[in-house]
Amino acid sequence: MSQPICVNDFEPWAKNKLTKNAWDYYCSGATEEQTLQDNCAAFKRYRLRPYVLNDVSQVDTSSSVLGDTIEFPVCIASTAMNKLAHEGGEIAAAKAASSLGSGFMQSTVSTTSIEDIAEATPGSLKWMQLYIFKTREVTKNIVQRAEKCGYKALFVTVDTPILGRRYDDVRNHLQLPSHLKLANFQSQKMSKGIQGVDGSGIEEFATKYIDPALQWKDILWLKSISKLPVVLKGIITAEMAQKAVEHKVDGIVVSNHGARQLDGVPATIDALPEIVKAVNGKCDVFLDGGVRTGTDVLKAVAMGAKAVFVGRPVLWGLAYDGENGVKSVLSILRDEFKMSMQLMGCRSVKELQEGKNLVVPQTFYPSNL
Ligand SMILES: Cc1cc2nc3c(=O)[nH]c(=O)nc-3n(C[C@H](O)[C@H](O)[C@H](O)COP(=O)(O)O)c2cc1C
Ligand SMILES: CCCCCCC(=O)C(=O)O
């Protein structure tokens, strides 16, 4: 295999390096994986209409997340158990993001604790992803520690009242190797809770601890226990986006959880326009799912996302070469995004978002109808 030069080049390297247990967990989507295919494929159903002769010798790739500046609009999405990919785990990923002026979203189900990540990455931009557990005190404890450690927002995952079925994890009896633990939980039972007794260990863990009775009022509860901005991760319809705005959230991530929850939902780039329209500027909108190239980033940003988040590509980078591997993945996306801005004749994210018909569905062209 030759050295990776684009994000997809990292995937076979990762497959080669990881155990079957870890690889299958990382790459799986839910059930038949229709949405998994579509998350990437859908980006290709949008076409670009460049401006020419528009001096692009200087371009500004920066954007912002909830008011904090990022050097380019690509950040790291929360993914569980990063030490399955590389011993450096979440700290390696967070350091990579920080060194490039991007941001890191930590999973609740991380193999490194909030405190250890915070200590290793002082002053860097980090957000805490949250699952809300049946025992609210577990969630409250995580919220309070994240706030104390300087995390800038809470990203509540709202698409996971139960875990989606990933066939290979059931077949493999997915479990966390005994030298690793879920580092944010204080009880031994939870930190060693991914066992794979009857099937997928992560599904068993979710069934045992995640609260399937979660409702909109719980978002108000969350807002009542923390001063941090609250973002809902996992919205893919205009109706739910409107409800989120009514609940005064600070942001929405248009996400289908990397196609790991409900198979058959739309690709996130297809869902983005209805959400941007429904939100009408009342909170930040972000997107994740299937972003693999600079033009994918550009399409999402031009269609109204302040930034995109990437999940699997970061895990591939970690598996390839720890912190340096993640840096390479993010740098490739940064450089490709900058190049595509220049080739589009756009000098800033503002110009990208204000330009008319820069990105169109491919049906804009009659031969694609
Ligand atoms: C292996 C893996 C673990 C994940 N773990 C979490 C998690 O702990 N919390 C969460 O909210 N989302 C989780 N996600 C979803 C990601 O945050 C994100 O929505 C998704 O990976 C984006 O799609 P992409 O992988 O195509 O970039 C996970 C995704 C993967 C692939
Ligand atoms: C809290 C238990 C479920 C964690 C699932 C991690 C995840 O989001 C994923 O595998 O996807």
The string of pLDDT tens digits covering residues 312-333 is: 999 999 999 999 999 999 999 9
Report ipTM for this prediction.
0.99
Which residues have any ligand 2 atom within 6 Å of their CB?
80, 109, 131, 163, 202, 205-206, 210, 257, 260
Considering the chain, what is the average pLDDT of its residues? Answer: 98
> Which of the residues are catalytic?
257
Confidence check: pLDDT of 352 > 90: yes
| pTM (2 d.p.) | 0.98
- pLDDT at res. 54: 96
Tell me what the mean pLDDT of segment 230-249 comes to.
98
pLDDT tens per residue, range 57-89 = 999 999 999 999 999 999 999 999 999 999 999
Structure tokens at 112: 């490194």
The H-or-E segment that residue 308 falls in is: strand 307-310
Distance between CA 286 and CA 277 in Å, rounded?
13
Q: Annotation-wise, does 189 bind a ligand?
A: no
Tell me what the mean pLDDT of segment 121-140 comes to.
98
pLDDT band at 278 (very low <50, low <70, confident <90, very high): very high
For residues 241 and 263, the answer to whether their CB atoms sit within 8 Å is: no
Distance between CA 297 and CA 256 in Å, rounded?
17
The SS3 of residue 236 is: coil
Ligand 1 test: best mutation among 79, 129, 214, 261, most atoms within 8 Å of CB? 79
Confidence check: pLDDT of 255 > 90: yes
Which residue ranges form the domains of the chain, and what is each CATH number?
7-362 (3.20.20.70)
- pLDDT at res. 368: 85
Rounded to 5, what percent of the chain is helix, strand, coil?
Answer: 45, 15, 40
Q: What percent of the chain has pLDDT above 70?
A: 100
- Determine how β-strand 63-65 pairs with β-strand 68-70: antiparallel
- State the ligand closest to the CA atom of 203: 2
Distance 202 CA to ligand 2 centre (A): 7
Instruction: Compute CA distances 16 → 19, 320, 327, whole Å.
Output: 8, 9, 20
Ligand 2 test: best mutation among 81, 131, 167, 170, most atoms within 8 Å of CB? 131
pLDDT band at 201 (very low <50, low <70, confident <90, very high): very high
With a CB cutoff of 8 Å and minimum separation 6, the contacts of 281 are none
Residue bearing tokens 């739309």 = 266
Q: Annotation-wise, does 131 bind a ligand?
A: yes
With a CB cutoff of 8 Å and minimum separation 6, the contacts of 336 are 6, 293, 294, 295, 297
pLDDT band at 1 (very low <50, low <70, confident <90, very high): confident
pLDDT tens per residue, range 133-188 = 999 999 999 999 999 999 999 999 999 999 999 999 999 999 999 999 999 999 99
Distance between CA 261 and CA 165 in Å, rounded?
7
Confidence check: pLDDT of 249 > 90: yes
pLDDT tens per residue, range 354-363 = 999 999 999 9
Q: Whose CA is closest to atom 30 on ligand 1?
A: 79
- pLDDT at res. 168: 98
* 25 burial via Cβ count (<10 Å: 0-12, 13-18, 19+): buried
Ligand 1 atom at shortest distance from the alpha carbon of 40 = 26
Confidence check: pLDDT of 202 > 90: yes
Taking alpha carbons only, the member of 164, 325, 328, 169 closest to residue 258 is 164
